[in-house]
Structure 1
Amino acid sequence: MKLSSLVISSLVMGSLLLSVQAHNHKTKTKADIVDTAIAAGSFTTLVTAVQAADLVDTLKGTGPFTVFAPNDAAFAKIPAADLNALVADKAALTNVLTYHVVAGKVMAADVVKLSSATTVQGQDLSIEVKYGKVFVNGAEVIATDIETSNGVIHVLDSVVLPKN
């Protein structure tokens, strides 16, 4: 009798422990867009550009935001002199970076239903689904739905540029 009571008590305690751990996992705070990009390790150029444009506080703000984020390989497609000139011109850099951000949290399942999205910069991004892939202004979306505490990140294989 004592052994069965001990087994039942152990099972109940184990269930409670698992329940608490599951609850803690679910309520674990996600990082914001900037901290998520930093932690990923593949957005160092983007993070440097966001810092140079003084957009860190904005992208750490309440949001929600959807960021079509070029990774380091995307920025590497831009000639170094051109990229350095862009980073040195805060107004132009801000224009380009805010062209990658849409107000609201737009998950991939919703992005594929759109033909365009208005950026916080003011111009629209063209969205196209072809060959089973999603393209934003011709740049391929190579990863989706990286959820953050203040929005979502979709990764682009190229930097997209606004119209002049």
Structure 2
Amino acid sequence: MFKTTATATAIAAFATLAVAQDNPTVGGAAMMADKTIAENASAAPNLTTLVSAVKAAGMADTLMGDGPYTVFAPTDDAFGMISENSLNQLMMEENAAQLQQILGCHVVAAEAFSTDIAGMIEDDGGMHVVPTVGGCSLEAYMEGGELKLRDENGRVATVTTADVDQSNGVVHVIDRVILPAGQAG
């Protein structure tokens, strides 16, 4: 009995290690492909503002759901490009709808790894329109070997860590917050 339990434990530990090794880290934290987007984001030390915003917007349950989703996750540094006053205003309960829309502009209701997105860009002649659950249309394109996203305001985010596999989709870490048309940051 002990040998069987020890073997099962060793196999489970190896499987967890294999998943962690195949998946990129985010902020130095291991991302587990068997955890949800919300669970993994909570473990990443450079996504704390995003996690706080998701909670303030009441969207944590969505990102724990079945999906599949593709999330373009802005880092704390990306949120740092928004004035502290504007960010504090967005986090207020009375602004939850606006925050939901902004966060929704970072979410696609399908799983798309970088190779999928690159293929769509190529098929569309160098630029692919990506509709988001927040009603934004992002323009995805490649530049200098990097995947870029242009929001409706002309602001460009670069994917800094691609293809972080999750149990309910995939995350691509970006260096800028995406905003709906007409919103400045």
Residues of 2 paired with 1:23 and 1:86: CA distance? 41
Q: How many residues align?
A: 150
Residues of 2 paired with 1:76 and 1:123: CA distance? 22
Residues of 1 paired with 2:135 and 2:178: CA distance? 14
Aligned residue number for residue 160 of structure 1: 178
Aligned residue identity for 1:80 = E
Aligned residue number for residue 81 of structure 2: 77
Structure 1 residue 93 and structure 2 residue 93: aligned?
no
Which of these residues, 136, 142, 147, is aligned with residue 149 of structure 2? 136
**RMSD of equivalent CA atoms:** 2.4
Structure 2 segments unaligned to the other structure (5+ residues):
20-31, 121-127, 151-155
Aligned residue number for residue 15 of structure 2: 25
Residues of 2 paired with 1:45 and 1:111: CA distance? 26
Structure 1 residue 62 and structure 2 residue 75: aligned?
no
Residues of 1 paired with 2:14 and 2:145: CA distance? 37
Residues of 2 paired with 1:23 and 1:78: CA distance? 41
Aligned residue number for residue 57 of structure 2: 53
Residues of 2 paired with 1:47 and 1:29: CA distance? 18
Larger radius of gyration: 1
Structure 1 residue 41 and structure 2 residue 31: aligned?
no
Residues of 2 paired with 1:62 and 1:145: CA distance? 18
Aligned residue number for residue 3 of structure 1: none
Structure 1 segments unaligned to the other structure (5+ residues):
1-12
After superposition, the C-alpha distances for 1:2-50 in whole angstroms (9 at most, x for unaligned) are xxxxxxxxxxx9xxx59x7179717997110011001122110000000
Aligned residue number for residue 10 of structure 1: none
Displaced runs of 4+ in structure 1, greater than 6 A? 26-29
Residues of 2 paired with 1:91 and 1:23: CA distance? 42
Secondary structure at the residue paired with 1:112? helix
Aligned residue number for residue 23 of structure 2: none
After superposition, the C-alpha distances for 1:58-109 in whole angstroms (9 at most, x for unaligned) are 1100100000000111111111001111222111100100010001110010
Q: TM-score, normalised by structure 2?
A: 0.74
